[in-house]
Amino acid sequence: MMKQIETTNENSIYQCSIEGKQELVKKIEPVIEPEPLKPWITLKKNLINVKYLPAMADISYKQNYVYIDVGARSYGSSIVSWFKKQYPKQNKSFDIYAIEADKRFLDQYKSKKGVTLLPYAVWVKNESLIFEINQTAPRDNDNGNKRGMGRIRPGESGKSGSGDVVQGFDFAEWLKNTVSEKDFVVVKMDVEGSEFDLIPWLVETGAICLIDEVFLECHYNRWQKCCPGVRSPKYEKTYVQCLDLFVSLRRRGVLVHQWW
């Protein structure tokens, strides 16, 4: 049963606890403490060490089974290549939500059965956002084509500047209206740096307690391939701050894995 503990802050901060959950957190793979020189390769290799929750505990008592791919990009990336093929589901059928604001990927979801597409950007409140495509950091898991990653920032509706205007929605509020503690909920999150806003908001609102397992890509100022000794200016956060984010979540009883 979920429990909540209020702190002395104005807002309630929640400590998630499912029976035996703290022991499960201790059993999952350790975070990678030394900053990897080639993070994407290191994290992908670390996949063999990942201890999935359904591989450690029975989930058959749950009412519904839900997978939420935040920053889903193409249908064939993490939904097909990882979740459908590799995630241990204990023979359960999962409802799948693909959340993606990049309009380049939306058409391919029209013919996909069993997947609900939300063509928006997850955020800490309902408001218009500027969606910017960074063409200097391409990666596409399906066919090798170069596709820049999208980032969001607050902005006035109709004043897109260098990006498109997209609708952002309160992810915590949506979770509370979509799933319950009786459901088994898996979230993969790749939000290009917005995790430092979203994760604290999920904790503050208690929505983090509705998620059973999180696969989180944390974005930081990585070393640039082109220039030895120079870090990318794309993100302000450091690798240490990413580690702090993972460690703090695990201390709260959240099964969170480093992802790419």
Residue 163: per-residue pLDDT: 72
Residue 115 predicted with pLDDT over 50: yes
Following DSSP, what letter does each residue of 164-182 receive, concatenated? EEEEEEEHHHHHHHH--TT
Q: Examine residue 6 and state whether it is found in any structural domain, yes or no.
A: no
For 116-168, what is each residue's pLDDT tens digit? 999 999 999 999 999 876 654 444 343 333 344 566 767 654 444 567 899 99
Residue 173 predicted with pLDDT over 90: yes
Q: Examine residue 14 and state whether it is found in any structural domain, yes or no.
A: no
Per cent of the chain over pLDDT 70 is 81
Q: Give me the CATH number covering residue 86.
A: 3.40.50
Q: Examine residue 16 and state whether it is found in any structural domain, yes or no.
A: no
Phi and psi of 178, rounded to 5°? -110, -40
Give the total number of structural domains in the chain.
Answer: 1
Following DSSP, what letter does each residue of 61-95 receive, concatenated? T-S-EEEEEET--STIIIIIIIIIHHS--TTPPPE
Residue 150: per-residue pLDDT: 61
pTM of the model: 0.85
Q: Examine residue 123 and state whether it is found in any structural domain, yes or no.
A: yes
Structural domain that includes position 177: 21-258
Residue 155: per-residue pLDDT: 64
Residue 224's identity, in one-letter code, is: Q
